[in-house]
A = this chain, B = another copy of it.
Amino acid sequence: MAAGVSIATVSNVVNGTKPATPAVQRRVLSAIERLGYLPDLHARTLRTGASRSLGLVVPDLTNPYFPALVQAIETTARDLGFVLIVMDAGNDAERETEALALLASYRVAGVVWVPVEHERSLDWPYPIVTVDRTVPGCDTVVADHGQGGALIGRHALALGHRRIGLLSGPRALPSAADRRSAFLDAVAGHAEIAWELPVPFSSDLPREVVARLAEPDCSLVVCANDAVAVGVLRAARDAGLRVPDDLSVIGFDDVPWADFVEPGLTTVRQPLAALGRNAVSTLHARIADPGRPLHHETLPVTLVERRSAMPVTPPPTGVRP
């Protein structure tokens, strides 16, 4: 090499594998500096078999849920010495499979996966940790959707709501189902479900839903999502209803603009950053010890109270005390 020293020695000083004479160290380091040498990570990976890259596959980056998650994942991955290869599945299962295969070819050390759909039989040559969804045989980090549902239920009760409308999300989605049933359990016996309608995660509510909203027979509507909560806000306004005076609404997710709509949405916040951090540390642990027992972790969520849900002040239709 240009430092008048062998290649192996260079390797040893850059990695500190073997001790070297100060003089040699200086020479090597200065030559590196001078030539702008950077080790070739491909060659390194090829030789050692230990890849320093992680994959991340998400259904749709533009979902407001993801940016904070991705950021946390990338940051902690890099702090652990890994590089993150990100792939957007475009909500398409086929494209998702391609992504996973491509990552296999790239010999990633592991992948963080947010599956577009539930259930999929697969065996990939790398460890996987799933986030927010669970796949058999994979480590998992999820938010406690059940707790979220319960939190909402208890809050609704505490605010004095006794007749509640429920806009539940896609029935097939486990997280939405968890939310729903925990909520139902929490209010059971204390409040009445005026009606329940399943809606997609969108601000564009089905016609029948906005019709129902126009003449509410409840004091609160609990929404599957912040997106649908925004739809409710809009429908209420169009119907001349004031939120929260005439109608309270509660969302889920705490999207970045939950505080920007009028009134600010009371909602449940998922610990996105923690989810991301723990996902990659879980993955890291599994990479270090492939034989360790399966790890399922569920992180607490928090209720964030804003102005869209308030106590029922004039008793809705005060029948009995």
**Oligomer copy total:** 2
Chain A 39-61: CB-based contact to B (< 8 A → 1; otherwise 0): 11111011000010100000011
A107: B residues at CB distance < 8 A: 40-42
Q: With contacts A45-B42, A75-B88, A87-B78 known, is A62 near B106, CB below 8 A?
A: no
Is A3 interfacial (CB-CB < 8 Å)? no
Is A313 interfacial (CB-CB < 8 Å)? no
Chain A 241-267: CB-based contact to B (< 8 A → 1; otherwise 0): 000000000000001110011100000
Max count, chain B CB within 10 A of own CB: residue among A46, A51, A237:
A46
Chain A 98-110: CB-based contact to B (< 8 A → 1; otherwise 0): 0101101111000
Q: Tell me which of B41, B230, B262 contacts A106 (CB under 8 A).
A: B41
Give the interface size class of chain A. Answer: 35 or more
Is A84 interfacial (CB-CB < 8 Å)? yes
Q: Tell me which of B39, B61, B68, B203 contacts A74 (CB under 8 A).
A: B61
Q: With contacts A43-B46, A256-B62 known, is A85 near B88, CB below 8 A?
A: no
B260 and A105 contact, CB distance less than 8 A: no
A-B contact pairs, 6 of them (CB 8 A): A40-B46, A42-B43, A74-B88, A84-B85, A203-B260, A237-B262
Query: Which residue numbers of A lie inside 8 Å of B, CB to CB?
Result: 36, 38-43, 45-46, 51, 53, 60-62, 64, 66-68, 70-71, 74-75, 78, 83-88, 90, 99, 101-102, 104-107, 125, 203, 230, 233, 237, 255-257, 260-262
